[in-house]
Amino acid sequence: MGLLRLLVLAVLASEPRMAGGAETVGNSSEGLLEFYIGKFRYFKLNRLSPEDAILRHISSNASFLIFQIHSQYQNTTISFSKTLLRNTSGTGTDRGLVFILRPEQSMCTWHLETLDAEPVQNMAIPLTYSERDPVPGGCNLEFDLDIDPNIYLEYNFFETTIKFAPANLGYARGTNPLPCDIGTGRDSRWRLLYDVYQYFLPENDLTQEALLKHLQRMAEVPQVKANAIKVVTLTANDKTSVSFFSLRGQGVLYNVIVRDPLLNTSAAYVPAHTYACSFEAKEGNCSSLRRVSTKVFFTLFALLGLFICFFGHRFWKTELFFIGFIFMGFFFYVLITRLTLLTYDVRLILTAVAGSVGGILLVAAWWRFGILLLCMLCVGLVLGFLISSVMFFTPLGNLKIFQDDGVFWVTFSCIAVIIPVVFMGCLRILNILTCGFIGSYSVVLAFDSYLYTSLSYITLNVLKRALNVDFHRAFTTVPFQTNDFIILAVWGMLAVSGITLQIRRERGRPFFPPHPYKLWKRERERRVTNILDPSYHIPPLRERLCGQLTQIKELFRKEQPAGERTPLLL
């Protein structure tokens, strides 16, 4: 029986068109993995024991079928035969092959293997399509396979890009496919449309079981339309490449549905997935993305922000330090990231130092010059930055007009500047609103350093766009799940509580504290002229410091012995 099995596979490999397995008879499926149309099957592959699979009872109405196989991060190879050729096999975590069926063919076989040292958990499914359905990847000119239904995915820290081959119109068994580049009329593949879909896995869930379970919702056309989010529709004239911004540690599934608007038919490509991180990296893998330095930085930042949320207006200088820290820290981080190759931890430390210097400078400017409008302009711009970031975090930010950097930054800046202008007549309200919203949002950023939340991307999206020149082409859609609703409620509760508390406490008090330098100068003059003031008799600062140093020296001076200090004369 083993000899018969090898003979069958040899016949399949020798077919002139490597688009499908040959029809076989008898009990040839013994020892093979058997699949059924539209049914998912789980199985494991080992390096030392590759598998051969078979699909039988293919309907005569089917013109072609797509067999797809998925794993979490270990590569699997799928081929038409045991002889692995570049144009007849594919290797990856999400791979598929198109089988063009011949007349009377009702059975297909293929070869599966892995080179990974550890066993690989896989899930696979065969799907059939009729002659009216478009053929995904049927006009491939870029990738290795002759007909390539796969979605190729690349990612970095900033963006994730998917690419796929153009489709062709469907055709009946035994006929030749339509030419891909002859004519652009309604009777050619140029009438086809491509809907790009995105699906988010549960947050903070990196398990293999969750991935394979949710991939089942992205394999067939009706399920994709029912469960995923349609991001964009491309025409045949558009480039078959779409960019999304990367969500490190968050599982995301992508698929493309090609539609024939004339025949009202459609077909799905092979879905692809990513976590925008590596499971096998020794440092910074998907299980340890959150660095200790990030946790320390944002925890301290959140503690200061929480204080500002409830007491910022009362402690005016502390709030100014907080605002100056944000201003200087943001621009300094963008500058050193774009101009240097320093590691993340070093950049974060330098940003903390620069932010502290910025906060001290703003406090010093207020203490010396007392220009309230200048300080409130900085306060209002920080609030405007957050409000503008929130607006572009909504679907408004994915409008095509804002993919132009010039339009985006001009609009973003105008919204940020409008906020202090609108509140110029009620500066105290502006200051209290800034304390409440900015201070409470710092707590959201601290949450993200320990537990993933999409709300942190309100500002991180803007930071990434400032850091990367290609980020403008990325769609900024994010998941909004249970964790996000809870943290959004916490953010709103903190903001409302802080604003309400400060408005009630500051009722009947002066709007802002007086000019510190004038108060200090007036107090100094009063001490000089009023001899009845006890502080008049206080020695100058220099004499007091010298006195303190003398007392410290006395503590370390060796005590001299009492009594006779000279030897007795004999």
DSSP 532: T
The 10 Å Cβ neighbour count of residue 477 is 18
Alpha helices in 312-343 (DSSP H): 316-339
For residues 92 and 70, give the distance between their C-alpha atoms in angstroms, rounded to a whole number: 8
Q: What local confidence, expressed as pLDDT, does residue 562 receive?
A: 56
The 10 Å Cβ neighbour count of residue 83 is 14
Q: How far is CA 480 from CA 254, 257, 447, 477, 484, in A?
A: 17, 24, 15, 10, 6
Are 23 and 104 contacting, i.e. CB atoms less than 8 angstroms apart? yes
Are 73 and 280 contacting, i.e. CB atoms less than 8 angstroms apart? yes
Following CA atoms 272, 277, 278, 279 in sequence, which dihedral angle do they give, to the nearest 10 degrees?
Answer: -90
pLDDT tens profile 1-14: 444 444 444 444 33
Q: What is the pTM of this model?
A: 0.83
| 487, containing H or E segment | helix 482-505
For residues 424 and 65, give the distance between their C-alpha atoms in angstroms, rounded to a whole number: 66
Q: What local confidence, expressed as pLDDT, does residue 208 receive?
A: 93
For residues 325 and 319, give the distance between their C-alpha atoms in angstroms, rounded to a whole number: 10
| CATH class given for the domain over 28-179+188-274 | mainly beta
Cβ neighbours of residue 247 closer than 8 Å, sequence gap 6 or more: 276, 454, 457, 478, 479
Name which of 129, 9, 3, 154 is nearest 59 in CA terms. Answer: 129
For residues 544 and 538, give the distance between their C-alpha atoms in angstroms, rounded to a whole number: 9
Q: Which residues of the chain have pLDDT under 50?
A: 1-29, 570
Residue ranges covered by each domain of the chain: 28-179+188-274, 292-506
Are 251 and 203 contacting, i.e. CB atoms less than 8 angstroms apart? no
Q: What local confidence, expressed as pLDDT, does residue 523 receive?
A: 73
